[in-house]
Amino acid sequence: MRFFAVLSIAIAMFVSGAPVQQSPDPASAPARDQEWLRQLVGDWEMKFRMNMQPDQPPVEAAGTDSVRALGANWIIAETKTTMMGAPYHGILSLGYDAMKKQFNGTWIDSFGGHLWVYQGTLNETGDTLTLETTGPSLTSPDKTARYKEVIRITGKDTRTFTSNIEGDDGKWTKILTIEYTRKK
C-alpha cells in the first residue's frame, strides 16, 4: 500500500513539473569502484574453512558462488553449499553509493534470520574491500558483536573472503576463510 502512495506522489510531482530529487547518475560513480564490482561477476567454485571452536580443527566445505551485475553499481551473489550435513544457500547484495562514497551490502542465508547490513571501503591499491557490520554474538545469544569481512582480489580469477569477529576483549578473531576460483 505504501508503495502505491509513494508512486502516486512521484507521478503527481512529475505531472505538475515539481522538481524531483534524483540519485546520482550511475555513470557518476567513480569508475574504479564500478570496475571493482564488475570483476566479481561470474561463476566461482569455493572452499570454506570455518573455525567453529578455538580448540577444534576448522570445518571445511566446498560450494559455488554465482555473481551477476544489477546495473553499473550493484552485484548479486548467490552462494550454495552443504554445511554440517545440511544444504546452505545465501545471497549477497553489494553496491557502491556514489553520494556516500562507500560500498553498502546485505547478506541473508538459509541458516539464520539475521539480516546482515554492510558498509565498507576499498583500500588505496584497489584490491581489498573491508566491510563492517554488527550481528549475533557467537558466545552469547542475547548479545551482538562487531564483524569485519574482507574481500580481497588475489588474481584475475581468484579472490578470498575472510570474516573476523571482535571479542569482548577488543581483539579480532578470524572465524571464516573462503577461497574462490573462477570456473572455466
Q: What is the pLDDT along the chain (184 residues), one digit of tens a residue?
A: 444 444 343 334 334 444 434 444 544 556 788 899 999 999 999 999 998 777 888 889 999 999 999 998 999 999 999 988 899 999 999 999 988 999 999 999 999 899 999 999 999 999 999 999 999 998 888 999 999 999 999 999 999 999 999 999 999 999 999 999 999 8
Give dist(CA 54, CA 179) in Å, integer.
21
Give dist(CA 44, CA 153) in Å, integer.
13
What CATH class is the domain 26-182?
mainly beta
Domain ranges of the chain: 26-182
Give dist(CA 149, CA 83) in Å, integer.
20
Give the pLDDT score at 116. Answer: 97
Give the pLDDT score at 13. Answer: 37
Q: What is the distance in angstroms between the CA of the first residue and the CA of the last residue of the chain?
A: 46
Give dist(CA 76, CA 69) in Å, integer.
6
Stated as kind and residue range, the H or E segment containing 62 is strand 59-70
* Backbone torsions φ then ψ of 10, nearest 5 degrees: -60, -40
